[in-house]
Amino acid sequence: MEKLSVRLPDGSEMEHDRGTTVEEVAYDIGSRLGKDAVAGKVDGREVDLNYELEEDSDLEIITIDSEEGLDIYRHTASHIMAHAVKRIYDDVKLAIGPTIEEGFYYDLDLQESISEDELEKIEKEMEKINSEDLPIKRKELPRKEALKLMDEKNETYKIELIEELEDENISLYQQGDFIDLCQGPHLPSTGRLEAFKLLSVAGAYWRGDENNKMLQRIYGTAFPDQKQLEEYLKQRKEAQKRDHNKLGRKMDLFMTDQEVGAGLPLLTPKGAKVVQILQRFVEDEEEKRGYERTMTPLMARRDLYETSGHWEHYKDDMFVIGDEEKGEEVLALRPMTCPFQFKIYNSKIHSYRDLPVRFAETSTLFRNEASGEMHGLIRVRQFTISEGHLIVTPEQLEDEFRGVLKLINYMMETLGIKKDIWYRFSRWNPDKKEKYIDAPAAWRDSQEKMKNILDRLDLDYTVADGEAAFYGPKLDIQFKNVHGKEDTIITVQMDFALPERFDMTYVDEDNTEKRPYVIHRTSVGCYERTLAMLIEKYAGAFPTWLAPRQVMVIPISEAQYDYARKTAGILKSEGIRVDIDDSDEKLGYKIRQAQIEQIPYMLIVGDNEVQAETVSVRDRRDGDIGEMPLEDFKSMIKEEIDKKVSEIN
RNA sequence: GCUGACGUAGCUCAAUUGGCAGAGCAGCUGACUUGUAAUCAGCAGGCUACCGGUUCGAGUCCGGUCGUCAGCUCCA
């Protein structure tokens, strides 16, 4: 038998017979590795475990505990799911079935609509396919034959996909009578899947385009073993308990009302308090950093939006008032603050010495979101944002951009969310002409400028094409809600277009008029969304400085009411948000109420405390932390509030 | 806007094939005066989201509207 040499990632070399499979090599290295192997990488190319080595090569074994390995494993799960659906329903056409961060999905086109109750049935069929342990085989067919095969199977979506591939040979994977277009690699047989679960069904447009047919998407996940799957499901359930949309209502932070309308949350006193604290903090901080405050109208004539380009690129998202056909004046509620602050800038002639001009406004905006898009406090039709615009000379652009980022980072650190966010560089999509101002050269130039700044800042960021504002590229700060859905919380935008449209100028040293740059930015983004994020981050247990109620004084009986009032009065005079629970209940009950409300501190006062002029302090997390003089408690909580301590103990 | 699920007391949820709308918590009243996560008793609470239809009879079946949830599209 002819031999060949296999070089492993650690540099060592092994000798094997020609035709040895990747899996055999893995077992030869170690039985544990053989068991954990899901695929291999031969000379950097991913291959199946049953791939036969034909020549000397570099080999890496991909194991289930790597991200790559889990991905391959889940991809096989998605094939098994599609196979099961094909067995159960008639006329199923396959679209795409990729893996995602926490599992996989498959988009399918079928007449019948699959309801969530039917997932169990599909799971059962998957189990059957699993126990049949069908071998999964890779096949390569010439384009023509692959197209012919898919045509015979009436897989119109696959045909579309193959037609876009440039490869001579098309790779397919087959298990039993199920065959799918796929790059692979895959597990060697359907029996290798250990633990999986289908999670939900939803509609999804073919190729993500709303003009295309809506397909049925089934979401599922798979894990190397049952224990890990159960752990994941448990975590998922736990995370959903933090859902701001449930918790925020339960904790009486906000409400909605059918008669008021969708996407129009009402902040109740406690929620409004948190937002007020945030706003004051942001406004004070902006002032310290050289921002000037404006207050501008919530609506304007159509003409203003025609100048800004909103009328052309953003009209569908605006609330327009007044019917032109009836000869009425046409106004629109503002979706952004920029045009208004630009008007203020333009009301004067500016010297280069005036720049940078930094305008800030706690600004309420209106956007006519489509009906299915509203979500709790995260996606609403009216929101208030820590808006700001910096008008700068080209030379100042980078420094000011850095200054904005510094402010933003300070905000995120203070809110304790620095570790929960990531940066996204959002660029335009040249193909979507209607979405963006048509100025390709300016787009490329400003994106280049932004990229250079980001790279010089050594910022770790992802890139998203088609996520820019209509007037310029953005640096978005993203977070994930409890459902794993990504949203923008803060944004910094570079604008080359609106200074032009508004003919904004400054007079430079050489006495010529020049065009400034504009940076649009938010400090914490919109307060509603920020509140939602904080609810989920802290599971309702806000840091003391943000807590709508910071202290609850709990007298044990009526005998201590006077002392309780005195205690509360002293704290209140220090600006601490304190209440007394003088309900006719037992101590345990009152503590429970305060615990549920996540009030940071409970001060229990009985006869002992009255005698000693002390309070017994109960921390919402650590429980009873002992008796202390009121003065001591006062300075302790004041320090915590002043330092805006946000860490979870 | 699209796909699917859903809407019963303030909240969480029951109500058999269409046959008298019910419980716990919260609320109110009273008793209890309490030492670190739920004291007991009584009372009250409803045009079953809204509008229309089928039926002797609709919370339940059908149609529409509004709203909610998950996803898609869109987005701060």
Residues 491-520, chain A, CB closer than 7 Å to nucleic strand B: 491
Q: What is the ipTM of this complex?
A: 0.92
* Distance in angstroms (rounded) separating the CA atoms of residues A205 and A216: 8
Percent pLDDT > 90 in chain A is 68
Evaluate the CA torsion angle A603, A608, A611, A613 in order and state its sign: negative
- State in words which class domain A68-230 has: alpha beta
pLDDT digits 0-9 by tens, A185-203: 999 889 999 999 999 888 9
Stretch A407-431: mean pLDDT: 92
pLDDT digits 0-9 by tens, A552-601: 999 999 999 999 999 999 999 999 999 999 998 999 999 999 999 999 99
Strand B lies under 7 A from the Cβ of residue A217? yes
Residues 159-188, chain A, CB closer than 7 Å to nucleic strand B: none
- For chain A, how far is it from start to end, CA to CA, in angstroms? 65
Strand B lies under 7 A from the Cβ of residue A612? no
Q: Cite the residue boundaries of each domain of chain A with CATH code 3.40.50.800.
A: 551-642
Please give the C-alpha separations between residue A561 and each of A390, A446, A577, A584, A632, in angstroms, as whole numbers.
Answer: 54, 65, 18, 12, 21
Evaluate the CA torsion angle A300, A305, A310, A314 in order and state its sign: positive
Residues 13-42, chain A, CB closer than 7 Å to nucleic strand B: none
pLDDT at A176 over 80: yes
Lowest-pLDDT choice from A49-53, A406-410, A420-424, A441-445: A49-53
Strand B lies under 7 A from the Cβ of residue A599? no
- State in words which class domain A3-63 has: alpha beta
Evaluate the CA torsion angle A279, A310, A376, A257 in order and state its sign: positive
What pLDDT, on the 0 to 100 scale, is given for residue A527?
Answer: 95
Q: Cite the residue boundaries of each domain of chain A with CATH code 3.30.980.10.
A: 68-230
pLDDT digits 0-9 by tens, A468-490: 998 899 999 999 988 888 999 99
Which residues fall within 8 angstroms of residue A610, CB to CB, at 6 or more apart?
A559, A560, A563
Stretch A358-369: mean pLDDT: 96
pLDDT at A1 over 70: no
pLDDT band at A372 (very low <50, low <70, confident <90, very high): confident
pLDDT digits 0-9 by tens, A327-343: 899 999 999 999 999 99
Distance, angstroms, CA A123 to C1' B7?
A: 29
- CATH (one of 1.10.600.10, 3.30.70.580, 3.40.50.800, 3.40.50.300) for A551-642: 3.40.50.800
Q: Cite the residue boundaries of each domain of chain A with CATH code 3.30.930.10.
A: 254-538
Q: In the Cβ-directed half-sphere of A123, how many Cα atoms lie within 13 Å?
A: 16
pLDDT at A453 over 50: yes
In Å, how far from its chain's centre is CA A116? 25
Which residues fall within 8 angstroms of residue A586, CB to CB, at 6 or more apart?
none
Strand B lies under 7 A from the Cβ of residue A327? no
Average pLDDT, chain A: 91
Distance, angstroms, CA A544 to C1' B5?
A: 39
Task: Find the length of chain A.
Answer: 649
pLDDT digits 0-9 by tens, A118-160: 888 899 999 999 999 999 999 888 998 999 999 998 999 999 9
Stretch A362-369: mean pLDDT: 95
Superfamily in which the A254-538 domain is placed by CATH: Bira Bifunctional Protein; Domain 2 (3.30.930.10)
Stretch A334-354: mean pLDDT: 96
pLDDT at A649 over 50: no
